[in-house]
Structure 1
Amino acid sequence: MKSLPIITVAVFVLIGCTQKKQENTSFFKLNTADFKSTVKGKETGLYILKNSSGMEAAITNYGGRIVGLTAADRDGEMKDVILGFNSIEGYLKANEVFHGALIGRVGNRVGNGKFTLDGVEYKLPLNNGPNQLHGGVDGFHNQVWGVKKVTANSIVLTYLSKDGEMGYPGNLSVEVTYVLNDKNEFELHYKATTDEKTVVNLTSHPFFNLAGEGNGTINNHILKINAEKYTAVDSTLIPLGENVPVVGTPFDFRNGKAIGQDLGAQKTNAQLQHGLGYDHNFELNPPANGEMFMAASILDPESGRVMEIYTIEPGLQFYGGNFMDGSDIGNSGKAYEFRESFALETQHFPDALNQPNFPSIELNPGETYSTKTIYAFKTK
């Protein structure tokens, strides 16, 4: 009889240790069960990637979304720097539909929702005024991706975009790999092939705040963009036909400046008025050898977190959170407010299908679309 209390205590200690171990297995306070659902007849889930230095990334195969990504500040404190939700239901109900998602078949806008390929005109369903945006309402962001492979620090997602989906020709097979490497770099590898001539411009749409998701303005972030020109647009954000110099404009980020520094010019600057602030593509300065290069860097001066964006793409869309209105409540219970997040989307130029001066996004059978982007984290 005397041994019973001892055994009981031991059991409680063991249970307590087990619970503590489970609680500490991930930075994210996310319940896997909340991501187990069925969308369009396909199962969704949540996957946590980790590297050796303690960074973590949370991924769901619904839209291939980046749910969360941790990064350390100058004192070593980790915070989630991605705006996200704590369930599939949160994403389905969100006012902003592109949170953290993979974007395709054609990222950015297609003017008037139509284009001509080899003499054939294709009409696309509209979802952004007179234009199609980010592949349409049932673009890649709104699809359940297959999970091909998962390791401790990587996940491979696949999707077959069938001929005619959202108006695009050809069966497009897509594979995207996320890797959280031990250099504190979050890698995105894109590949695609087609059985018929088509068009492809893939990207990813995470919304960042380097102070931590839901932690206030990003207008104090110091942004540097490796671009001499940006894409001037009309009132529907469709390119006017050429990229224009940034010098002498609010779009000059060559030497780095606070995002909010020149937003006061919105009162008189037509381009800022069209985007309700910054929502523009920048023509990057890639090296002649086609290798990866730094497209941009951004610093949160309060935390010291720095993010560098490397790519092989010719363009970078900078969006300053102008359409956020507080209607979305994130995974920490905070509202996502106006200009409290930013997106830096590596890409080919917007409306490239209808702009003869822009690099082509056509893909032929027998060719492989391949591109790569890296978000590298450090402190200052």
Structure 2
Amino acid sequence: MENSEGAVTVDARWGELEDGTPVGRWVLDDGVLQVGLVEHGARIQSVLAPDRDGVRADVALGFADLAPYTGKGRSFGATIGRFANRIAGGTFDLDGRTVTVPPTDRGNAIHGGPHPFSEKVWSAHTLDGACGVRFSLLSPDGDNGFPGALSVHVTYRLHEGRLTTEYVATTDATTVVNLTNHAYWNLAGDGSGTVDPHLVRVLADTFLPLEGTGLPTGEFRPVEGTPFDLREAVPVGYRVELDDPQLALGQGFDHCYVLATTPGGTREPSLAAVVTEPVSGRTLEVWTDQPGVQFFTGGSLAGTLVGKAGATYGPRAGLALETQGFPDAPHHPGFPTTVLLAGEEFRSVTELRFSAS
């Protein structure tokens, strides 16, 4: 399908699950970017972006076929939910009851539990008059222990080199919601080596330090005078190699930067982070209305997965900038709330702006 905004095509049987369920791959192309989206996980599978000479390269880490996404690569490029990041012990109190989500990481629930949104096949359809695709999923009451039937829509729109992701969710009972996308980026191109030379800037004065299992301590720590001060662009590799207890805990950066602390956790969409790759000239700007952005340099990537370009993904093969509510928010009344009431609507937007100079 073509329109004034660009072209949308689909391979309806790009992959197939073991039970025979077909998985489609959608391609958006606005003449600047070409974006591949997969129904399994409502995920970003590829992003072809031009360098300063106009030459496109795939800057999103991922896989050429479905199989790795159903195993250890399940988070790559995926929509994460119901609750992105960690929940301490997998339990929390909500609306007078105790909710239990099966722990999956060092005694904590991470990214929604053992069968999260990244493992689901989402329904998909094109958008009228736009270069975009909307993915939809119904998460039933009790899914991974979370209360309430949750209806979720994730819409990707492409326009003039900008990829916008809009999340909308409604529930029929009080629940918690924290949605994000877990794309890994390497602006030099997938398989080109580590992101150590990338220059990163995060527009935040504070971050959330971690305890030993990756949970936030609850402190809002100023970045000034620490390796976490990214208010001016710095090379990733230089900072990761510094001797700092927090960097050691995260195997590099794996921390939430504080963009807003308003009670509802919302803010006007604004610039959160900028990444530049000096050789290609490619730049990625991340704009969001979410209160936090999790900056992750992939320290836990173990070199066991082989990406589209035939290279293995080891530490710092890519970096992630996950716009979201704060990790473990149900246990921290001082954090922006992630509670969603029946009859209310969760809505958020993140825009990825690609350019080259």
Task: Please give the range of the TM-score, normalised by the shorter of the 2 chains.
Answer: over 0.9
What's the counterpart of residue 6 of structure 1? Answer: none
Structure 1 residues 289 and 231 mapped into 2: Cα distance closer, same or farther (>3 Å)? closer
| 1:43 Cα deviation after fit | 2.7
Q: What RMSD over aligned residues (CA atoms) do the two structures have, in Å?
A: 2.1
Is the Cα–Cα contact under 8 Å of residues 320 and 342 in structure 1 kept in the other structure? yes
2:119 matched to 1:134? no
2:26 matched to 1:47? yes
Is the Cα–Cα contact under 8 Å of residues 226 and 285 in structure 1 kept in the other structure? no
Is the Cα–Cα contact under 8 Å of residues 149 and 157 in structure 1 kept in the other structure? no
**% identity of equivalent residues:** 37
| 1:250 Cα deviation after fit | 0.6
Is the Cα–Cα contact under 8 Å of residues 12 and 23 in structure 2 kept in the other structure? no
Q: Structure 2: how far apart are the matches of 1:176 and 1:109?
A: 21
2:80 matched to 1:109? no
What's the counterpart of residue 277 of structure 2? Answer: 300
What's the counterpart of residue 202 of structure 2? Answer: 225
| 1:92 Cα deviation after fit | 1.9
- Between Structure 1 and Structure 2, how many residues are aligned? 347
For residues 1-380 of structure 1, the aligned pairs below 5 Å read: 32=11, 35-38=14-17, 42-51=21-30, 53-93=31-71, 95-149=72-126, 153-182=131-160, 184-266=161-243, 269-284=244-259, 290-380=267-357
* Deviations 1:179-233, CA, capped at 9 Å, x for gaps: 1112x10000000000001100100000110000111110111101010000011
Give the 3-state SS of the residue equivalent to 2:118 in structure 1. helix
Is the Cα–Cα contact under 8 Å of residues 82 and 207 in structure 1 kept in the other structure? yes
Give the 3-state SS of the residue equivalent to 2:70 in structure 1. helix
Out of 286-295 and 119-128, give the one that drifted further. 286-295
Q: Structure 2: how far apart are the matches of 1:323 and 1:72?
A: 29
Q: TM-score, normalised by structure 1?
A: 0.87
Q: TM-score, normalised by structure 2?
A: 0.93
Is the Cα–Cα contact under 8 Å of residues 46 and 60 in structure 1 kept in the other structure? yes
Is the Cα–Cα contact under 8 Å of residues 261 and 335 in structure 2 kept in the other structure? no
Structure 1 residues 179 and 286 mapped into 2: Cα distance closer, same or farther (>3 Å)? farther
Richer in helix (by share):
1
* Deviations 1:318-369, CA, capped at 9 Å, x for gaps: 0001011221111121211221100000001000011111000000111110
Is the Cα–Cα contact under 8 Å of residues 286 and 293 in structure 1 kept in the other structure? no
* AA of the residue aligned to 1:37: E
Give the 3-state SS of the residue equivalent to 2:241 in structure 1. helix
Q: Structure 1: how far apart are the matches of 2:267 and 2:256?
A: 20
* AA of the residue aligned to 2:53: D
Q: Mark the runs of 5 or more structure 1 residues left unpaired by the alignment.
A: 1-25
Structure 1 residues 231 and 71 mapped into 2: Cα distance closer, same or farther (>3 Å)? same
| 1:36 Cα deviation after fit | 3.0
Structure 1 residues 145 and 97 mapped into 2: Cα distance closer, same or farther (>3 Å)? same
Q: Structure 2: how far apart are the matches of 1:144 and 1:344?
A: 24
Q: Structure 2: how far apart are the matches of 1:79 and 1:260?
A: 22
* AA of the residue aligned to 2:26: Y
Q: Structure 1: how far apart are the matches of 2:308 and 2:12?
A: 15
What's the counterpart of residue 4 of structure 1? Answer: none
Q: Structure 2: how far apart are the matches of 1:286 and 1:305?
A: 31
Q: Structure 2: how far apart are the matches of 1:232 and 1:338?
A: 21
Give the 3-state SS of the residue equivalent to 1:242 in structure 2. coil
Structure 1 residues 375 and 223 mapped into 2: Cα distance closer, same or farther (>3 Å)? same
* AA of the residue aligned to 2:64: N
Give the 3-state SS of the residue equivalent to 2:92 in structure 1. strand
Is the Cα–Cα contact under 8 Å of residues 34 and 88 in structure 1 kept in the other structure? no
